[in-house]
Chains A and B, each alone.
Chain A
Amino acid sequence: MHKPTPLLQGTLDLIVLQLLRSEPTNGYDLAQRIQTVSRDVLQVNAGSLYPALYRLEERALVRAVWKETDTGRRAKVYSLTAAGRQQLESQRAEWERFAGALSHILKRA
């Protein structure tokens, strides 16, 4: 098993926004889903996830409500705001341009 790759700086916000786009999720599930969706390549620890969530909440890109989970526990469920959706679109476009340029360089040069 490979060692999980540490997150590239600044990409966590993008990942969180993208995952929240499909459905509202609590912190634990979000961490799990990052791991699953990235096929275990990316691992996010709570120490970066929660500050990121609070940062996004403070910038009004996500909002949070307390809800009951399937297991009957109270959990804080995060969802995307309109502003968050906008931010996601622009960040994703930027990321694709950046990633495209980078792979271009890595293949050609």
Chain B
Amino acid sequence: MRLLRQLMLRLRAVFLFGRLQREMDEEMRAHVEEATERYIARGMSRADARIAARREFGNMTVIASDARETRGARWSESLAADTRLALRGLRRTPLFAAVAVLSIGIGVGATTAIVTIANALLLQSPPGIGHADRVVTIGGTRNGKGFDTFSYATYRDYARASSLTAMAAMDVEPRALSLTDHDDGQAVQGGVVSGNFFQTLDARPRLGRLFGASDDTEGNSAPLIVLSDRYWQKRFGGDSGVVGRTVDLNGAPFTIVGVAAPRFQGPFVIAPDLWIPLRAWAQLANSVTLFSSRQSVWLVGVGRLAPGRAASEAQAELASIAARLRRTYKDEADLDGVRVVPLSLIPGDGHAVVGAFMAAMFVVAGLVLVVASANVAGMLLARAAGRQREIAVRLALGASRARLVRQLATESLVLGVGAGLSGLVLAHWLVAAVMSLVPKLPVPIIVHPTIDAPVLAFALGITLLVGLVVGALPALESTKPNLVPALKSDAGTTRRHRLRSALLVSQIAVSMLLLVVAGLFGRSLLRARSVDPGFSTGGIDIVSLDFRLAGYDSTRGLDQAQQLLEHARRVPGVAHAALSVMLPLSGSAMGFGPILADGHPAPKGQEWSADWNVITADYFAAIGIPLVHGRAFTEADDHGGRDVAIMNETFAKRLFGTTDAVGRTIRNGNRLIAVIGVARDAKYRSLDETPLNYLYVPLAQWYVPHANLLVRTAGTASAAGALRRIVAELDPHLPILDQQTMSEATALSLFPQRLALWVTGSLGVVALVLALLGIYGVIAYSVAQRTREIGVRVALGAAQGTILRMVLRQGLMLAGAGVVLGLAIAAAATRLLASFLFGVPPTDAVTFAGAAFLLTAAALAASWVPAHRAAACDPMIALRTE
């Protein structure tokens, strides 16, 4: 209690400083007046009485100040005074203050930005979900790995688990649908979810209602739509009249029953435009097997844990159900295991991958913070050294060491607050910049990185930590009660100088590591850019379509495809037009196999397989892949003719030992396929892949309803607008799923490298600039300290060149030590990056040498100015200093 009361009084003293002061004044005035009255009562005149009372009382100002000291106000007062002092001191050296605040601010900003993004991706629960901590996501595993889909039948079995109060199922990715509302069809991403989806997630509507379990039963497959708030705003302009309206999805009538709450996007990072019930989708897709077959695996689950049950209990229960299903259905079973994980925007293995990437980025950003801290600590040390005499005098006059440390620490604290604030601003900006770097993705991925309370706590914590570490060292060092040398002369600085040199060497070593990492990513990207993908990325417009969305069967689809190509070829400027199911380097691939070639068996224990693509006649001309042998497909290669294929050089060589495979045949199941041409190799999955087997087959023989229309234009003009018109004229119900250029489509393949380079490159530049400043600071300070010695040397006849070399050598020695240390660290550390690099070994000699050269050059440049100043030293002036 007493402790509490003391604390209260002290806090009162801090916060109610003005009031206490007034109370004190009033009390003392009352004292004087009381005394005056008494003197008057004893017969004095009022004036005499007042003078006597005043005299008796003493100097009111001094007493008030003494009293204040005991009041605990001293602490708050001296903090204010220290802050004022620190601000005044920093204003006198604006360059130092700016460099210190900015460099630590950059470190804090970079780490905070990465924490913000990691927090949004990995820690924050998806918006709009009630009691999200009780929600789990459920996926199947193959060989104990992954987060895979399972069948509807399995979902029903899981949903009976007692550890879950509710379980909903959803198609793992949204489906591309065409939504028509008195106008052309527009592509939308439809989330296909079980009726109880919204109830399970405890989601709320913004408008109307959300469909429920009774809307999605075997007897009632109601065609209902719940719009996302985002799509509602975009397509319907936030019109509340849409509720109850009927629109067409892929030509079938659906009723909009409501709009989900703002920002609600379901449990994952992929955000659908709208949601429809499972059974309504199955009717639309006209698929009977979606619900009956255990082989039809297309769902993942979200479940709500029963009260008091943990995710691990649900995991155990579902695993035992899965085991029973395996026993019952044996080969018919659709999975070998199950995975129950807490709700996360990125479920399954992706979580760990993203986590590892974010951790790597965090380490890099953390290194910059370390470099900046070392640099600022060095500067503070030099600054404290400059005030050595002042501090020594104050210590000698009896100031307590704690008092002086507190004053110096306040300066660091002020710097820290500035750095923390600028760091937060920077983090905000960096997050926006990173989000804008994300290329256009085939599915709508939405995250909301915000600087929320945990992120703020992180930023505050790290700023305080840095402020303390950076401030404590110089403060303790410069208030060492070692007065005599400091008072006597400029001696006693050797040890401090050594400390500062050590800081500088470690700073350069870490900068070296950062530059090496940035260099490795830079060379990766250069290497990747210079790789010839084997096709042209420029001048090609792409429109993605799915003929199913307009309800075509294969005959109608092929017919429409033919018309589409004819129309496209007539557009002015269009040189070639073709359809292609796959887009190279866009992140997806199809496997075709097994393939047999009579007389050419595959290596032992394997079978021939290849990636494949389904194309139309003009494809090779449109994408710019030359044929090395044989011919391209023609319109005659259709259903009536014999099966034909074109393979790439690598596959031809592996199969037949020669690139000229024209005239050979391969076998796939019952189909005998004649090879009519060989195309030059290209890159298909990624730029750094080892050569892949690849097979092209004609669309007329292998109809696939979803395809990309590729159009090569002769000039620079884009055909995008014309293509949009052609598709709309052909069939207003056929929506355009995606429209992009070839270079946009392939940009995704280099996104991780690009992001990594952007992050490490900018941080590397910061580290280099800080190293430059650090070296300059140390050398300039050392020259200033040695003014007298240099003066003596010049007076004794040392040539200017000698002095110049002497100072430069000192800078180079320091930089050399840092560079060597940094090389050793980098050689050990970059191995961890190997999987992110492209065509560059983690100990790439060019990068290492380049970074070393860059830092050494920076050291020379930074030492040059102080070296010149030293060499130009006038011995008379130099000897007279001090």
Chain A residues at the B interface, C-beta cutoff of 8 Å: 26-28, 31, 45-47, 50-51, 54-55, 57-60, 69, 71, 73-76, 83
For B52-80 the 0/1 string (1 means CB < 8 A from A) is 00001111001100110111100000000
CB neighbours of A55 from chain B (8 A): 70
The winner among B31, B59, B72 for most chain A CB atoms within 10 A is B31
CB neighbours of B56 from chain A (8 A): 45-46
Within 8 Å of chain A (Cβ to Cβ): is B234?
no
A-B contact list, 24 entries, CB within 8 Å: A27-B28, A27-B30, A27-B31, A28-B30, A28-B31, A28-B34, A28-B35, A31-B31, A45-B58, A46-B28, A46-B63, A47-B58, A50-B24, A50-B63, A50-B66, A50-B67, A57-B9, A58-B70, A59-B6, A60-B2, A69-B34, A73-B33, A74-B26, A76-B23
Within 8 Å of chain A (Cβ to Cβ): is B37?
yes
**Within the assembled complex, what's the spacing in Å between the Cα atoms of A83 and B27?**
24
Q: Is the CB of A71 within 8 A of B34?
A: yes
Q: Is the CB of A54 within 8 A of B71?
A: yes
Q: Known: A45-B56, A50-B28, A58-B72. Is A75-B34 also a contact (CB below 8 A)?
A: yes
Q: Is the CB of B70 within 8 A of A74?
A: no
Whole-angstrom distance between the Cβ of A82 and the nearest chain B Cβ: 9
For B501-522 the 0/1 string (1 means CB < 8 A from A) is 0000000000000000000000
CB neighbours of B37 from chain A (8 A): 71
**Within the assembled complex, what's the spacing in Å between the Cα atoms of A91 and B134?**
62
Chain B residues at the A interface, C-beta cutoff of 8 Å: 2, 5-6, 9-10, 23-24, 26-28, 30-31, 33-35, 37, 56-59, 62-63, 66-67, 69-72
* Pick from A31, A58, A76: contact of B27, CB under 8 Å: A76
**Within the assembled complex, what's the spacing in Å between the Cα atoms of A51 and B71?**
8
**Within the assembled complex, what's the spacing in Å between the Cα atoms of A74 and B34?**
11
**Within the assembled complex, what's the spacing in Å between the Cα atoms of A24 and B69?**
25
Q: Is the CB of A75 within 8 A of B9?
A: no
Interface residue SS majority, chain B: helix
Q: Is the CB of B70 within 8 A of A73?
A: no
CB neighbours of B23 from chain A (8 A): 76
Q: Is the CB of A46 within 8 A of B6?
A: no
Whole-angstrom distance between the Cβ of A52 and the nearest chain B Cβ: 8
Q: Is the CB of B9 within 8 A of A58?
A: yes
* Pick from A26, A47, A60, A83: contact of B66, CB under 8 Å: A47
The winner among A27, A51, A71 for most chain B CB atoms within 10 A is A51
**Chain A residue with minimal CB distance to B37?**
A71
Q: Is the CB of A54 within 8 A of B63?
A: no
CB neighbours of B70 from chain A (8 A): 51, 54-55, 58
The winner among B28, B33, B63, B70 for most chain A CB atoms within 10 A is B70
Whole-angstrom distance between the Cβ of B673 and the nearest chain A Cβ: 96
Q: Known: A45-B56, A51-B69. Is A60-B6 also a contact (CB below 8 A)?
A: yes
**Chain B residue with minimal CB distance to A32?**
B38
**Within the assembled complex, what's the spacing in Å between the Cα atoms of A50 and B34?**
15
CB neighbours of A60 from chain B (8 A): 2, 5-6, 9
A-B residue pairs, 10 tightest by C-beta: A28-B34, A55-B70, A28-B31, A60-B5, A47-B63, A47-B58, A46-B57, A54-B70, A76-B27, A51-B67
Whole-angstrom distance between the Cβ of B53 and the nearest chain A Cβ: 10
**Within the assembled complex, what's the spacing in Å between the Cα atoms of A58 and B72?**
8
**Chain B residue with minimal CB distance to A74?**
B30
**Chain A residue with minimal CB distance to B27?**
A76
CB neighbours of B10 from chain A (8 A): 58
